[in-house]
Amino acid sequence: MARDTILHRIRTALGRSAEQAVADPPPVRLRIPVVRMEDRVATMIARLEALVAKAGETTDPCGVVAEMIEGKTAVASNAPFLAECGITSLPNVRSGIRDREELRAVCATADVGITSADYALADTGSLVMIASPQEARLISLLPPAHIAIVPRDRILTGLDELLTVIPDPANVTSSMVLITGPSRTADIEQILVRGVHGPGQLAVWIV
């Protein structure tokens, strides 16, 4: 009875009757602003820095990564772009791992995980990671630090533009993760703690 009463009130508020067919949903409205690539890059960096992540542009990603991981152990994804940059060939970087259990073991002990990103969203400073054999999720989630090397032409304006590029992510991958800054939570007594559910340090270099 209570259910019928609630539904009657909702229908009344909408000006509908019980027999009336449900109208078709309105068309999806995606708004994609026109933004120059230079401005996208600047906004991306500013948003990441506001999230307490390290960010910048570079023409030498291999040199930047080599300096950041000096004296540390690192695991890199199988993204072709990392190989093109020479990052997977650095002496203290493990890469090319296909076996899931081996990858889990390596990621659990590595100091740094290195990935590229399928896309980046300038307006929120987010990395878009589509799970695949090239970009295993563990590498960006399990090590305590994450370095992402992103080609500048993969920077989109925001989520609306992403949904025009990938309108149905479930048809592309089993998992699409948006990473916005280092892992953080304030669940306990509203005290902000970083690195609880993922890397506590994030560095993004735009190539």
pLDDT at 194: 64
Instruction: Reply yes or no on whether the pLDDT at 122 is more than 80.
Output: yes
Judge whether 154 lies within some domain.
yes
DSSP code of residue 156: E
Instruction: Reply yes or no on whether the pLDDT at 192 is more than 60.
Output: no
Q: What is the pLDDT of residues 135-183, one digit of tens each?
A: 999 999 999 999 999 999 999 999 999 999 999 998 988 899 999 988 7
CATH code of the domain in which 71 resides: 3.40.50.10420
Judge whether 98 lies within some domain.
yes
Judge whether 91 lies within some domain.
yes
**Which residues are CB-neighbours of 206 under 8 A, at least 6 positions away?**
41, 44, 45, 55, 56, 57, 58, 120, 150, 151, 152, 155
pLDDT at 185: 67
Judge whether 92 lies within some domain.
yes
- Which is more confident, 58 or 3? 58
Judge whether 187 lies within some domain.
yes
Judge whether 17 lies within some domain.
no
φ/ψ of residue 130, rounded to 5: -100, 115
Judge whether 105 lies within some domain.
yes
Please name which of 169, 164, 166 lies closest in space to residue 28, comparing C-alpha atoms: 164
Structural domain span for residue 53:
29-206
Question: Within 51-170, where are the H helices?
Answer: 61-68, 80-85, 100-109, 137-141, 159-165
Q: Count up the domains in the chain and report the number.
A: 1
Q: What is the pLDDT of residues 28-44, one digit of tens each?
A: 788 899 999 999 999 99
Q: What is the pLDDT of residues 60-110, one digit of tens each?
A: 999 999 999 999 999 999 999 999 999 999 999 999 999 999 999 999 999
DSSP code of residue 204: E
* Residues shown for the chain: 207
DSSP code of residue 187: T
Judge whether 18 lies within some domain.
no
Instruction: Reply yes or no on whether the pLDDT at 1 is more than 70.
Output: no
Asked whether the beta carbons of 106 and 97 are under 8 A apart, the reply is yes
Output the six-digit token pair for 154. Answer: 């993969």
